[in-house]
Structure 1
Amino acid sequence: MTVNVGLIGCGGISNPHVRGYLEIPDRAKVTAVADVVEENARTRAEQVGGAQVFSDYRDLIATAGVDAVDICLPHHLHADAILAAAEAGKHILCEKPLCITTDEAAKITQAVKANGVTLMCAHNQLFMPPVAKARELIQSGALGKVYELRTTDSFFNRGLNADMGWRGSLQTAGGGELIDTGYHPTYLLLHLATAEPSEVVAMTSRHRLEMEGEDSAQVMVRFADGSVGTIVTSWAYQPAAVTEKFSVVAEKGTLWSDGRTLNHRTIDGELTTVEFPEVHAFSAEIADFITCVTDKRRPINTEVEGVHVLKVILGAYASVKEKRVVTLADL
C-alpha cells in the first residue's frame, strides 16, 4: 500500500519532511501540497516529483484524494487544520506544538476520537537511538525508582532577530522560544519520565532577541510519582560544552547522553557507553508515521501525549505570570 500524503504548509520545516517521504517512495508519496505562498508550494511540488498545488489546504483536503496530511503550518493554524483533516477522515502528522490553547486541545481530542483517525505528533527527537534505549532501560526497572531528569535544547540563534515573523508574536506563536524549540526538551522529558506531570514552576527570560515572548526558559516539572524534571532551553546562547541532551538520576544508577552516545553508570560505578549510528530523525519520524497508518499501530506520541506537553508549557507560562507553582490538573 502506498499512502498518498497532502503536505499542508511548505515553509522551511517542510523540507526535512519531504526528504523523509522521498526516502520511502514505495510506501508513501506526497501527491498534493498547499501554501498561501505559491512559490513555496510549487517548490515543494517540484521536489516530490510533481504534485497538485493548492493555495487553500481546505481544498486539498476536500478534493486531492489523499489518505493523510502532514501539517507544517505556523503554530496558531495547527488546530483548524487538524480539525478539518480529522472531520474528513484523514490521518494526521502535525509539527509541534499540537496547538496553542487547552480549548483547542479539547476540540482536537474529541475530533480524533469521533472520526477514528490516527494523529501523530511530529516529535522527531524521540527517534534518536539513545532516547529509545534510555526509555527501554528506565521502563525495564534497571535503574529502579527515578529521582530526577533533565533535558536541554539551546543554541545561539543568529537568524531570527532580523525578522522574527510570526514567531515574534505571542498571538501567532502561542508564546516564545519555550513553545517552539523548547517543545523538544519538554516532550523528551515526558517521554523518559515514569509518571504523568502534575506540577510546574518556571522562569523565562528575554536575554537577546527582539520578540514579544521569551528567548530562554528554565522549567521544573514534578511528576505524579515524586520524580522531578528540569528543562533548560534557549535561542540566546550556545550552552556550555558539558551540557547533556538528557540525563536521568535514579535509585540504581544514572544515564546521560549527548544525543549520539548513551552512558549508563550503575550505583556500583560500572560504566557502559554505547555510541549509536547517526539517524536522520525526521526521516525516521516520517517512516514511522506511514507504518502507523498502514499497520494501524499507535504512534509513540499521539494527541494524548501532545496535550500533556502543551499543558506543561502553558503551565510554565502561567507560573511565570502568576509567580507560583501551577497544578496541571487545573488547566
Structure 2
Amino acid sequence: MTTTIFIDGGAGTTGLEIRERLADRPGLALLTLPEERRKDASARREALNDADIVVLCLPDDAAREAVSLIDNPRTRVIDASTAHRTAPGWVYGFPELSGRQRVAEATRVSNPGCYSTGFIALVAPLVRAGFIPHDWPLTCNAVSGYSGGGKAMIADYESAGAAAPAWSTYALGLGHKHVPEMRAHCGLTYPPLFVPAVVDTLRGMIVEVPLMLGAMPGTHVPATLRATLKDFYAGSPVVRVIDAYDPATLAVERLANTDRLDLFVFGSADGQQARLVAALDNLGKGAAGAAVQSLNLMAGLPEADGLRL
C-alpha cells in the first residue's frame, strides 16, 4: 500500500528538508504541483484533498487556510507552523512525549517548534515525575543557527560574509511564539522566561534550562534527574541521554545535519545547581526530522525510516 504525501509550502527551508527525507522511499509517493500552479488555489485544494497525508510548511494564517480547504475526512495533516500547537483536537507531534500510538492514529498533528523541542524534552518528564514543581519559575536560554529564520535570514547572513554578527539576541518583548507550547506541554503554571539568540552558523541548536536545586522543594541531585530522563526516553531511536561527555565539546553544531536529540544534565559539585541541556539540529528534530518521524508513524512505517541518525 502506498501513502501519498503533499507538502504545501515545499519550496521553503523546512519543506525542502522534508522532501529530502522522503525521496525514493518505498511505500511513499509525493504529490507535486508544477511551479506555475504552486500558488493556484484550485490546484492546491485538489492536492490537499487527494493526499493521504498533507504536511504544511506555511505561515500560520496560510496553514489555517489550508486546513479549511480540506473537505474530506480521509486526509490527515501535519502542520509545521505555530498555528495549531496548542489547539484542541490536535495531537502534539512529539511521539516520545505524546505517545507513539496517539500520533499514529491522529488525523491532525502539530509539529513542535525547534526551541520548544529542547525545552519540553528536558522539562516535561521532570515535571511529570514531580522533580520540577508545576509552578516553579523556569528560565530557558537557547541559541540557534541562522537557518531557523528561513530563506530570508539565510540570505542575509550569507550575503554579509565576515560582517555577519557572531551572536544576536532577540524576542526582547518576551512574546516569542514558542512560549505557549512550552508552557502547555510541560503543564506549567507560568510561562518560562525565554532568552533565544541566533549565532553565525547555518544549523544547530543548544537549549538550556538552569535549575537552583538547593532552593527547590525536596531533595534532588543531578544524577537522579539524569536517570529519570534516561528511563523516560529508553528505547527511543532519536533521543539519547548522554552519560559520559566532555563539556568542552558541547558546541551548537554538535548535531547539525542529524535528526537526533541529545540531552545532558550538568551538576555542581555540591549538587545545589544543575544545568539541563539539549542539543539538536533546528532543521532536524527541530523541524523536518520531527515531521518525518510523525509521518512514519501515521503511515504505519518504522519510526526512524528516512531519518538521519
Q: Under a length normalisation based on structure 2, what TM-score does the superposition of the two structures give?
A: 0.51
Q: Distance in 2 between matches of 1:290 and 1:85?
A: 18
Call closer, same or farther: CA 1:54–1:134 in 2, change over 3 Å.
same
Rounded to whole Å, the distance in 2 between the matches of 1:69 and 1:117 is 13
Q: Given that residues 210 and 274 in structure 2 are in contact (C-alpha distance below 8 angstroms), is that contact kept between their aligned partners in structure 1? A: no
Residue 60 in structure 1 maps to residue 47 in structure 2 = yes
1:99 & 1:228 partners in 2: Cα distance?
Answer: 18
Return the offset for 1:57. Answer: 0.8
Match of 1:150 in 2: 139
In the superposition, relative to structure 1, how do residues 122 and 177 fare at CA in structure 2: closer, same or farther (>3 Å)? farther
Q: Deviations over 1:10-49 (max 9, x none)?
A: 3323112212323x823533x21247x539x5xxxxxxxx
- 1:266/1:128 CA distance change after superposition, 3 Å: same
Answering whether residue 95 of structure 2 is matched by residue 73 of structure 1, we say: no
Return the alpha-carbon distance in structure 2 between the equivalents of residues 246 and 273 of structure 1.
7
Rounded Cα–Cα distance in structure 1 between residues aligned with 2:65 and 2:273? 49
Q: Deviations for 1:182-213, whole angstroms, at most 9, x for unmatched residues?
A: 3345433443x334xxxxxxxxxxxxxxxxxx
Kindly report which structure 2 residues correspond to 1:37-52, keeping only aligned pairs within 5 A, or say none.
37-38=35-36
**How many residues are matched?**
219
Alpha-carbon distance in 2 for matches of 1:6, 1:268: 53
SS in 1 for 2:138: strand
**Cα distance per residue 1:250-288 (max 9 Å; x no partner):** 535588997855225499617888988866313431333
- 1:58 is displaced (CA, Å) by 0.5
SS of the aligned residue for 2:136 comes to strand
SS at match of 1:263: strand
Shift in CA distance, 131/94, structure 1 to aligned 2, threshold 3 Å? same
Is 1:247 aligned with 2:209?
Answer: yes
1:38 corresponds to which letter in structure 2? E
Matched, 1:229 2:192: yes
Structure with the largest fraction of strand: 1
- What is residue 137 of structure 1 aligned with on the other side? 126
Structure-2 residue corresponding to 1:262: 264
Provide, for residues 276-331 of structure 1, a one-character-per-residue CA deviation record: whole Å limited to 9, x for no partner: 886631343133322442459xxxxxxxxxxxxxxxxxxxxxxxxxxxxxxxxxxx
The question of 1:17 aligning with 2:21 is answered: no
Could you tell me which runs of 5 or more consecutive residues in structure 1 were left unpaired when the two chains were aligned: 42-52, 110-115, 164-175, 196-222, 297-331
- The correspondence of residues 54-203 of structure 1 with structure 2, limited to 5 A, is 56-62=43-49, 65-85=50-70, 87-98=72-83, 118-125=107-114, 131-143=120-132, 147-153=136-142, 159-160=152-153, 182-191=176-185, 193-195=186-188
Q: Equivalents in 1 of 2:155, 2:12: separation in Å?
A: 17
Name the aligned partner's letter for residue 265 of structure 2. N
Question: Secondary structure at 1:69's aligned position in 2?
Answer: strand
| Change in CA separation of 1:18 and 1:161 when aligned onto 2, cut-off 3 Å | closer
* Cα distance in 2, alignment partners of residues 85 and 143 from structure 1: 41
**CA RMSD, Structure 1 to Structure 2 (Å):** 5.0
What is the CA–CA distance in structure 2 between the aligned matches of 1:92 and 1:231, rounded to whole Å?
Answer: 29
| CA distance 1:83–1:145, change in 2 (3 Å) | closer
In structure 1, distance between residues paired with 2:278 and 2:210 = 19
Q: Secondary structure at the match of 2:63?
A: helix
Is the 1:130–1:262 Cα contact (8 Å) retained in structure 2? no
Which residue of the partner structure matches residue 3 of structure 1? 3
Q: 1:177 to 1:18 in 2, by over 3 A?
A: farther
Closer, same or farther in 2 for the Cα pair 1:161/1:84, shift >3 Å?
same
Provide the identity percentage. Answer: 13
